[in-house]
């Protein structure tokens, strides 16, 4: 399996000018991993060029998701892996997800913590029919657990909005990884 570092070297950070000059196909290839297994959003974001700032690129992804149908949004949420779930244990995460889960220590849980994540993931799937999604890079292991417990009290509509908000935060950080900062001219 390709490591996150290898994937990042393969997709070096581009300047904003380079991003704006990419063909639609190359833009989709460069940004295809921004939203988990959903490269169609990179294709839609590319249509909003030229971008004036890195934040505009991130906003284009958020807008592409927001404009989609509710069922397509649920499919995007379902494309995300369970935190510390079977895919993580088997090494089947995307490079981006593997790096992000490791950054919060989710690759180093105790047996009791793995068991709790298994219970929380199962409860999420039963109640919402999709996984618990959180921007792990902006959280600690403890806040991730606390958030999952708290968000289980949401209604399905509230949780879909919460998951999409978190996906926007994840996408923003992934976009920032792919564009050189300070190159907004």
pTM of the model: 0.86
- Compute the distance between CA of residue 135 and CA of residue 109 in angstroms, rounded to an integer: 18
The catalytic position among 80, 99, 125, 165 is 80
The predicted-structure confidence for 30-66, as pLDDT tens digits, reads as follows: 999 999 889 999 999 999 999 999 999 999 999 999 9
Tell whether the torsion through CA atoms of 50, 52, 58 and 60 is positive or negative.
negative
Question: Residue 5 pLDDT more than 50?
Answer: no
CA distances from residue 86 to 91, 92, 93 in whole angstroms, order as listed: 8, 8, 9
Sorted by where each starts, the structural domains of the chain and their CATH numbers stand as 1-185 (1.10.3330.10)
Known catalytic residue: 118?
no
- SS3 string, the chain, reads CCCHHHHHHHCCCECHHHHHHCCHHHHHHHHCCCCCCCCHHHHHHHCCCCCCCHHHHHHHHHHHHHCCCHHHHHHHHHCCCCCCCHHHHHCCCCHHHHHHHHHCCCCCCCHHHHHHHHHHHHHHHHHHCCCCCCCHHHCCHHHHHHHHHHHCCCCHHHHHHHHHHHHHHHHHHHHHHHECCCCCC
The predicted-structure confidence for 77-92, as pLDDT tens digits, reads as follows: 999 888 866 545 555 5
- What's the chain's average pLDDT? 87
- Cis peptide leading into residue 50 (ω within 30°): yes
Higher confidence at residue 181 or residue 134?
Answer: 134
């Amino acid at each position: 399996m390709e490591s996150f570092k290898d994937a990042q070297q393969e997709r070096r950070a581009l300047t904003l000018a380079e991003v704006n000059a990419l063909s639609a196909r190359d833009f989709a290839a460069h940004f295809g991993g921004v939203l988990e297994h959903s490269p169609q959003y990179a294709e839609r974001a590319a249509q909003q060029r030229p971008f004036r700032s890195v934040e505009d690129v991130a906003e284009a992804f958020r807008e592409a998701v927001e404009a989609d149908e509710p069922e397509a949004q649920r499919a995007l949420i379902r494309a995300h892996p369970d935190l510390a779930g079977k895919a993580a244990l088997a090494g089947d995460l995307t490079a981006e997800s593997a790096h992000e889960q490791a950054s919060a220590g989710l690759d180093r849980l105790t047996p009791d913590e793995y068991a709790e994540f298994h219970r929380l993931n199962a409860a999420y799937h039963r109640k919402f029919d999709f996984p618990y999604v959180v921007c792990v890079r902006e959280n600690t292991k403890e806040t991730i657990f606390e958030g999952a417990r708290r968000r289980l009290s949401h209604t399905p509509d509230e949780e879909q909005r919460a998951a999409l908000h978190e996906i926007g935060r994840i996408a923003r950080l992934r976009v920032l990884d792919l564009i050189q900062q300070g190159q907004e001219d």
